[in-house]
Amino acid sequence: MIKFFLMVNKQGQTRLSKYYEHLEINKRTLLETEVIKSCLSRSNEQCSFIEYKDFKLIYRQYAALFIVVGVDDTENEMAIYEFIHNFVEVLDEYFSRVIMFNLDKVHIILDEMVLNGCIVETNRARILAPLLILDKMSES
Amino acid sequence: ALSPGLYLGRGLLSFCSSVKGGKSKEAEIKRINKELANIRSKFKGDKALDGYSKKKYVCKLLFIFLLGHDIDFGHMEAVNLLSSNRYTEKQIGYLFISVLVNSNSELIRLINNAIKNDLASRNPTFMGLALHCIANVGSREMAEAFAGEIPKILVAGDTMDSVKQSAALCLLRLYRTSPDLVPMGDWTSRVVHLLNDQHLGVVTAATSLITTLAQKNPEEFKTSVSLAVSRLSRIVTSASTDLQDYTYYFVPAPWLSVKLLRLLQCYPPPEEPAVRGRLTECLETILNKAQEPPKSKKVQHSNAKNAVLFEAISLIIHHDSEPNLLVRACNQLGQFLQHRETNLRYLALESMCTLASSEFSHEAVKTHIETVINALKTERDVSVRQRAVDLLYAMCDRSNAQQIVAEMLSYLETADYSIREEIVLKVAILAEKYAVDYTWYVDTILNLIRIAGDYVSEEVWYRVIQIVINRDDVQGYAAKTVFEALQAPACHENLVKVGGYILGEFGNLIAGDPRSSPLIQFSLLHSKFHLCSVPTRALLLSTYIKFVNLFPEVKATIQDVLRSDSQLKNADVELQQRAVEYLRLSTIASTDILATVLEEMPPFPERESSILAKLKKKKGPGTVTDLEETKRERSTDVNGGAEPAPASASTASTPSPSADLLGLGAVPPTPAGPPPSSGGGGLLVDVFSDSASAVAPLAPGSEDNFARFVCKNNGVLFENQLLQIGLKSEFRQNLGRMFIFYGNKTSTQFLNFTPTLICSDGLQSNINLQTKPVDPTVDGGAQVQQVVNIECLSDFSEAPVLNIQFRYGGTFQNVSVKLPITLNKFFQPTEMASQDFFQRWKQLSNPQQEVQNIFKAKHPMDTEITKAKIIGFGSALLEEVDPNPANFVGAGIIHTKTTQIGCLLRLEPNLQAQMYRLTVRTSKDTVSQRLCGLLSEQF
């Protein structure tokens, strides 16, 4: 299962974090620091999977933003790796500008895609449907 | 195009950007504290806040939290938002609670109430929000409140698809946290049928739920196998346009495929032929697609395709039943090993590691050895290199062990510090496991110490000592090699330990060479003494006293060293005590006593390598078990480190302050409870023990052990929870001497301990055994020794029986084992040329003189092992005698008191049939029969 989903920038600031298992807040900060440190220290030639404690980190970099997913050993690395990209494409489709001002919507999108540590929806139209309904509601 | 006013409000947006745009951390904190004070005053203010403002402030708190700051208020306002009828307000309330309320919050009851209302609302959006919240919080209180309700929502016919998805994963969460609150029931079969649902999102969610439930309740969910196979088949064979938006860059539903393949890994291969056939077809299709030209050049296409492919390979490995698929999987992974994408190389190495343990694909994996070694040398990513090390370890067998160990050793010189210890352990295990030639093993371990001495743990160097002590064929070589290694100006302390121990035991074997005379050996060791830590110095002191026994000529020198103030008055009590005691011992004891006390160490009991235990601990269970299965360890005892003190077991009864002087110190803890009766028939034996000649039936496993001693002289003959019997023997011409070591494994005394040698009447006229009785009391943890002198009068085919009786606690124990004194022990090897051999072979052509046996191989047919066994059997191994190089021929003479019997033997392996034909020709028919019988059991 997916243990956590992080979006962290190159300066090490967490932009979005979603934990699928409860973790103390101070431990989260610690974990996020370590995670971004281990991602930043890697070059393009290295693989996108890092063994970290008893789980694996799978990460992708988009410009200055890292998306890091922590999973246990029941997940398929390549599937998660590509899932991150799918997530980013959904964000791209919905937002035309910097996404960080719309954190609540990013959360909604992530919640549509991952629920309780499991991939639940990968169909772009279906992921965005609730959000589009919402937009209509608020326009009217 | 942004419409910030809709959700966040302009104020919030500017707040967010002002915080984000802050120049320093201090500025950010200052800004945030100001805002927190503002929000607090708003919440406490007299004026009731409207929904919009409440939402705005709760949202700000959420943002502040997400920046990493602790939030300790605002929960109540968030809960209030839940009962709003406006979606945005409700949604922010739920978001806040999902992210910020942990399982222990006392607010849970209020929240539960709001959720209950939303679940009953029949408004899919509200239901979805409520289910998301349950899943995200997932506390026990929530499980109690909703575990009964959610399965109903999940399987109800009129539930909306999106709600079903949420319900499935919500139930999964509750099952994980409180399985007792989610009882299986009627709903389970209906859940399985969700695999057929039209909506692939529902199938995706349901597959996750079913996979977890099936792991715990395989029977209840058995029907999911055929449904999953047919669903997978429909996806895999669909045209890329069939699945509309679930097709990702021309790959149909990759994530769902992965999940279905994962679900199938909860079960063995399907039994129904139709289902099985369909699944095989799917897997073949997936493998085929990997070879087809890609439908898109985009990397997303190949990534998604490969995700499915890797999962399919996992399933193939899990089933481990279709050789064809396994080999295809291996070839596919082989292609990835050379792929330019690091990710693929990493995953291929990882997958191949599990593939190596399947008997069907082990050979196929081995063909990639060069690529893997190359990866070890050229990969720039340490995690990929580590996978390469793992794979080399997994693919190692006798055929490639030397190459793999050499490559690992050379990699060790440059390896990252983080993985050095693991490589050291792996090299040590492989070197031991696949050593045919133990000189190679000794070289390898010494190299390990030279290259990575700091990472060589105690287990590793204990083990090399155990092996050297137990194998007399390597002792001289080991002594010579450590002596040479110690010449290096700077050698690792671990080398000093191994060197000190081995020279103390076997220094005499190289003392004949003037370059390694006793004095030179001593000076060499002593030159390292002052640089070593206290435990090593203590070990060296023991070596010195052993030298006193081995080499009387250096006694005075060593006594001088022991007498010096730096030893006798050493601040460390252990060193001081050793120096005092050893000095005293060397002064007052007669040579006989010295020789007894400081005798060579008896062989160590064979036990599981403690290195393996260490590696298991390091890597967690499961990762090394495959390799370990082939090991023939009988005992589960894993605490077996050799106690590193050169002292004879016979000192056991001497009260000594240093426990490690007790020789075979590491006595496994005796299990609690009544001591098991030996021989499986203890009770019966007890009843009949009055009758004078009652002999216990042979102990179980005794025959096996007996057979193991045919080709070797030392080792453990018998072991149960109480007693261990070790043997060390030597034979020359028709005479032999056998040392039997009786070890008391318990902490209680054995009383009336009486071992008896029993020869049948027929045997008595053929061999003569002489021995002295042993002390009838054996202390707990102690070992006693008995010497048996053996004389072979004429050829024989029976074996004497060793019967041991003693009292342990209140019970009478009786053990009988066959003593491995066999005719071949009196072999003297004879070298001869091909011509001589066949000439003699022809001379012995009388039908009685030849005995032939054709039999099936019981062990892997390995040339080197076979050679070692024939040599161990006692005959000479004649190279280049037989025209067929695959055959083995041997020659030797059996010595008895009265006659000498020439023996020739020929062993012809047939690899294809896994059979051997053994022919023995000797001048005496009974000898031919016995030798043929003994040797046939060895292969």
Amino acid making up residue B70 = D
- If you average pLDDT over every residue of chain A, what do you get? 87
Nearest-CB residue to A78 (from B306, B345, B380): B306
Q: What is the pLDDT of residue B632?
A: 33
Contacts of B256 in chain A (CB under 8 A): 122
pLDDT 10s digits, B601-627: 888 776 666 677 777 766 554 444 334
Chain A residue with CA closest to B312: the answer is A76
d(CA B813, CA B753): 9
Four-point Cα dihedral B393, B399, B400, B403, nearest 10: 140
Work out the average pLDDT over B889-897. Answer: 88
pLDDT at residue A84 greater than cutoff 90: yes
Cβ distance of B70 and A78 shorter than 8 Å = no
Residue B41 Cα, gap to closest chain A Cα (Å) = 24
pLDDT at residue B38 greater than cutoff 60: yes
Residue A14 Cα, gap to closest chain B Cα (Å) = 6
Amino acid making up residue B527 = S
Cβ distance of B311 and A43 shorter than 8 Å = no
- The pLDDT-based confidence of B763 (bands split at 50, 70, 90) is confident
CA distances from residue A86 to A127, B236, B331, B586, B758 in whole angstroms, order as listed: 11, 20, 30, 80, 80
Q: Which of B170-184, B266-280, B549-563, B802-816 has the lowest mean pLDDT?
A: B802-816
For the entire predicted model, the pTM comes to: 0.64
Residue A68 Cα, gap to closest chain B Cα (Å) = 15
- Comparing B691 with B411, the larger pLDDT belongs to B411
Could you tell me if A41 lies within 8 Å of chain B, comparing CB atoms?
Answer: no
Q: What is the pLDDT of residue B13?
A: 62
Q: How many CB pairs under 8 A join A and B?
A: 172
Please state the φ and ψ torsions of residue B428, each to the nearest 5 degrees: -60, -40
Work out the average pLDDT over B160-164. Answer: 90
pLDDT at residue B863 greater than cutoff 90: no
> Is residue B781 within 8 Å of B660, Cβ to Cβ?
no
Contacts of B311 in chain A (CB under 8 A): 76, 79
Q: What is the pLDDT of residue B682?
A: 33
Work out the average pLDDT over B501-515. Answer: 89
The SS3 of residue B354 is helix
* Most confident by average pLDDT, B87-96, B644-653, B676-685: B87-96
* Most confident by average pLDDT, A18-27, B195-204, B582-591, B679-688: B195-204
CA distances from residue B457 to B416, B423, B497, B542, B818 in whole angstroms, order as listed: 17, 12, 12, 21, 38
Chain A residue with CA closest to B63: the answer is A103
Contacts of A72 in chain B (CB under 8 A): none
Q: Which of A55-64, A72-81, A129-138, B255-264 has the lowest mean pLDDT?
A: A129-138
Q: What is the pLDDT of residue B227?
A: 95
Nearest-CB residue to B245 (from A104, A115, A123): A123
Contacts of B259 in chain A (CB under 8 A): 119
- The pLDDT-based confidence of B407 (bands split at 50, 70, 90) is very high
Nearest-CB residue to A46 (from B2, B172, B381): B381
Contacts of A14 in chain B (CB under 8 A): 66-68
Work out the average pLDDT over A58-71. Answer: 92
Residue A77 Cα, gap to closest chain B Cα (Å) = 7
Q: Which of A76, A100, A110, A133 to mutate to test the interface with B (most CBs of B within 10 A)?
A: A76
Selected residues 68-97 of chain B with any CB under 8 Å from a CB in chain A: 68, 70, 87-88, 91-92, 95
Cβ distance of A111 and B303 shorter than 8 Å = no
Q: What is the pLDDT of residue B20?
A: 62
pLDDT 10s digits, B328-348: 999 999 999 999 899 999 999
Selected residues 809-848 of chain B with any CB under 8 Å from a CB in chain A: none
Q: What is the pLDDT of residue B679?
A: 36
Residue A51 Cα, gap to closest chain B Cα (Å) = 8
Of all residues in chain B, the percent with pLDDT exceeding 70 is 86
pLDDT 10s digits, B437-467: 888 998 998 888 888 888 888 888 888 888 8
Contacts of B51 in chain A (CB under 8 A): none
Q: Which two tokens stand for residue B113?
A: 């109430």
Residue B112 Cα, gap to closest chain A Cα (Å) = 18
Q: What is the pLDDT of residue B619?
A: 59
Please state the φ and ψ torsions of residue B851, each to the nearest 5 degrees: -130, 135
Selected residues 97-116 of chain A with any CB under 8 Å from a CB in chain B: 97, 100-105, 107-108, 111, 115-116
DSSP code at position B676:
P
Q: Which two tokens stand for residue B456?
A: 């060589």
Nearest-CB residue to A122 (from B88, B136, B248): B248
Cβ distance of B304 and A82 shorter than 8 Å = yes
User: Binding site: which residues of B?
Assistant: 10-11, 42, 52, 56-60
Cβ distance of A104 and B7 shorter than 8 Å = yes
Q: What is the pLDDT of residue B102?
A: 58
Cβ distance of A115 and B7 shorter than 8 Å = no
Cβ distance of A78 and B343 shorter than 8 Å = yes
Nearest-CB residue to B346 (from A47, A100, A124): A47
- If you average pLDDT over every residue of chain B, what do you get? 82
pLDDT at residue B641 greater than cutoff 70: no
pLDDT at residue B669 greater than cutoff 60: no
d(CA B45, CA B40): 8
Work out the average pLDDT over B121-129. Answer: 88
Work out the average pLDDT over B512-536. Answer: 90
Contacts of A48 in chain B (CB under 8 A): 342-343
Amino acid making up residue B66 = L
Work out the average pLDDT over B179-197. Answer: 88
Chain A residue with CA closest to B255: the answer is A79
Longest dimension (CA), chain B: 121
Cβ distance of A104 and B304 shorter than 8 Å = no
d(CA B631, CA B797): 31
Q: How many CB atoms lie within 10 A of CB B320?
A: 18
Q: Which two tokens stand for residue B389?
A: 């090390």
Q: What is the pLDDT of residue B659?
A: 32
ipTM: 0.93
Could you tell me if B540 lies within 8 Å of chain A, comparing CB atoms?
Answer: no
Q: Which two tokens stand for residue B577?
A: 């005590």
Selected residues 138-167 of chain B with any CB under 8 Å from a CB in chain A: 138, 162, 165-166
Contacts of A47 in chain B (CB under 8 A): 342-343, 345-346, 381, 383-384
Work out the average pLDDT over B774-797. Answer: 87
Of all residues in chain B, the percent with pLDDT exceeding 90 is 23
pLDDT at residue B399 greater than cutoff 80: yes
pLDDT at residue B661 greater than cutoff 70: no
Closest CA to B88 of B56, B128, B117: B56
- The pLDDT-based confidence of A87 (bands split at 50, 70, 90) is very high
CA distances from residue B185 to B7, B164, B188, B211, B217 in whole angstroms, order as listed: 43, 18, 6, 17, 12
| B574 Cβ neighbours under 8 A, 6+ residues apart | B534, B538, B658
- The pLDDT-based confidence of B242 (bands split at 50, 70, 90) is low
